Structure 1
Amino acid sequence: MRRKAYAKLTFFLHAQERKEGMLRFKNIIMPIDLFDMVYLEKSPEMVLETDKEYLPNDKRNTVYKSIMIMKKRYDIQDNFKVKIVKNIPAQSGLGGGSADAAAVINMLNDLYDLNLTSQELIDVAREIDEDTPFCLFNKPAIVEGIGDEIEILDYNMDLYYVMVKPGFGVSTKSFLKKYQHFHYDHNFDLCHEGLISQNFELMSDHMHNDFQRAISKKNSKLKKVARMLKDEGLQGVCMSGTGTTIFGLTENRDEAIRIYEKIVFDYPFVKYGRIKK
């Protein structure tokens, strides 16, 4: 059994408050055409393989965690061999680990004909992290709370991205524990309105990430990447999630290709592609 595990870009990230020790968000998240491949089959024992040496192949891996949760909740006695072919870089804010976990949750749901409701799937996914519930569905959405409140969005723009990940990442857990800069942000409504009304300028002018300023202070290279993408003519230039990927948008595929070809050899990871609908 195999499945594509799609990455995501965060068009708007707003940390609203900390409640019971957990950050609560109001985000706009979009699936993109970058994906890992996840292969799953029954096995006499639990085996987890990846094609990247830096990834853990034990209980620290989100895929291992998701399998253990599903086995316990739904009395699944089988063990599994899982192979993950990674295309989504780690610590990038693109949701790679979350996407892999979501793919396995969906595969086990199908393999055992569990017929879980959307809420039951979310209840499993939110035990992994705040992005895994979104990755279950891979559709544009407003995501609130601890990632478990999902409102699917209907939009009809053709949007292309160019993304750059410098050669360093951010430890999400350590960063989130320290974050305290809560405020009201009316720009969320404007970004949302632009997206659903197909007003590219309104949407891109109000894209935002609450974490970007704090992370950029510690990593000046992020500012340089953002400035470069803006100078090349991309709009809505923003950091995705809590990672270090900086991306920008255009409505013109040829423009995305031009920028990609110009900068592809300047950074460890550069990609262009299309926002999924």
Structure 2
Amino acid sequence: MITFPNAKINLGLNIVSKRDDGYHNIESCFYPIPWRDSLEVMEAASFAFHSYGLKIPGDTSSNLCVKAYDLLKTDFDIPPVEIHLLKNIPMGAGLGGGSADGAFTLKMLNDLFSLGLSDSMLEAYALQLGSDCPFFIRNQPTIATDRGEQLEPIDLDLSGYYLAIHNPGIHVSTKEAYSGVKPKESEISVSEIVQRPIEQWKELLRNDFEASIFPNHPEIEQLKKEMYEAGAIYASMTGSGSTVFGVFEDEIAHTEWKSFELH
């Protein structure tokens, strides 16, 4: 069984407040985009995990695909599997690629072994893997709140627009990203803004991490400016960086930027 886990972008990201558990409450719109990994899962004599493409840091046991299998193996009598992951989506880039891989592994195991898990049940398992993982179970435009795990589908369709996206290869740690933010309630919710005409987003839709990251990494801020200079209707850093995207009316030709038609 083969599937193609996709990335997501953040349309707006407000850091609303700091929680007692040390995490932050956020508000953001997660939007799926067609930048994909390739994931194959098959029954095998013994468990094995193989990765190709972009090098994945860390030990194999910490990979979310492996953790997804171990999670379901605890509750269900499923046989060993062999997992092959072709990694195309950059890691630590605000695109949710690892979270997608883990969530899609859960969905594949559910289908492969007819476990009968509903989307809600899969989301509960996915949350044990990470805050971003539940989004990729239903994989549709969604308003995310709290730590990012409270999900409310939103009627948002960017079909026909084009996305230019580029990861400049700058690593921004979560600690660095949060160190400069000042949590505050936004005057207009992300949910309300993204339902306005896209031409209004430039003045209203913010990623709060930009204020702390741009001074330390002016190359990322410059990339956002270049997106607007190239004609973007809206441009932003996604997540805690360092990937920047622009939404365009027409397909954009650039030697370094990836371009996709949105669906």
Q: Is the structural similarity TM-score above 0.5?
A: yes
Alignment counterpart, residue 164 of structure 1, candidates 163, 166, 170 = 166
- 1:43-58 superposed matches below 5 A: 43-52=44-53, 54-55=55-56, 56=58, 58=60
Alignment counterpart, residue 272 of structure 1, candidates 252, 259, 262 = 259
2:91 alignment partner in structure 1? 90
Counterpart Cα distance in 2 of 1:45 and 1:113: 20
2:235 alignment partner in structure 1? 237
1:215 alignment partner in structure 2? 213
Structure 2 residue ranges without an equivalent (≥5): none
TM-score by length of 2: 0.90
Counterpart Cα distance in 2 of 1:51 and 1:16: 38
Give 1:177 deviation, angstroms. 6.5
* Aligned-partner residue type, residue 275 of structure 1: L
- Residue by residue, what CA displacement relative to the aligned partner does 1:159-208 show, whole Å, maximum 9, x if unpaired? 22111111222233x3466465211112434xx335335x1212343222
Give 1:45 deviation, angstroms. 2.4
Counterpart Cα distance in 2 of 1:230 and 1:53: 29
* Aligned-partner residue type, residue 64 of structure 2: T
> Percent identity, aligned pairs only?
24
Structure 1 residue ranges without an equivalent (≥5): none
1:18 alignment partner in structure 2? 18
Matched-pair contact (CA < 8 Å) for 2:181–2:212: no
Give 1:60 deviation, angstroms. 1.6
Matched-pair contact (CA < 8 Å) for 2:236–2:246: yes
Alignment counterpart, residue 63 of structure 1, candidates 57, 62, 65 = 65
Instruction: Go from structure 1 to structure 2 and tell me whether the alpha carbon gap of 1:11 and 1:111 turns closer, same or farther (over 3 Å shift).
Output: same
Instruction: Go from structure 1 to structure 2 and tell me whether the alpha carbon gap of 1:120 and 1:178 turns closer, same or farther (over 3 Å shift).
Output: farther
Matched-pair contact (CA < 8 Å) for 1:48–1:57: no
Q: Provide the secondary structure at the position in 1 that maps to 2:89.
A: coil
Matched-pair contact (CA < 8 Å) for 2:52–2:86: yes
TM-score by length of 1: 0.86
Instruction: Go from structure 1 to structure 2 and tell me whether the alpha carbon gap of 1:58 and 1:3 turns closer, same or farther (over 3 Å shift).
Output: same
Matched-pair contact (CA < 8 Å) for 2:53–2:88: no
1:102 alignment partner in structure 2? 103
Counterpart Cα distance in 1 of 2:166 and 2:2: 28
* Aligned-partner residue type, residue 76 of structure 1: D
Give the number of equivalent residue pairs.
260
Instruction: Go from structure 1 to structure 2 and tell me whether the alpha carbon gap of 1:176 and 1:228 turns closer, same or farther (over 3 Å shift).
Output: closer
Q: Provide the secondary structure at the position in 1 that maps to 2:128.
A: coil
- Residue by residue, what CA displacement relative to the aligned partner does 1:100-155 show, whole Å, maximum 9, x if unpaired? 11110111111222222332212111122221111111101101122321111113
Q: Provide the secondary structure at the position in 2 that maps to 1:108.
A: helix
* Aligned-partner residue type, residue 2 of structure 1: I
Matched-pair contact (CA < 8 Å) for 1:14–1:185: yes
Matched-pair contact (CA < 8 Å) for 1:23–1:176: no
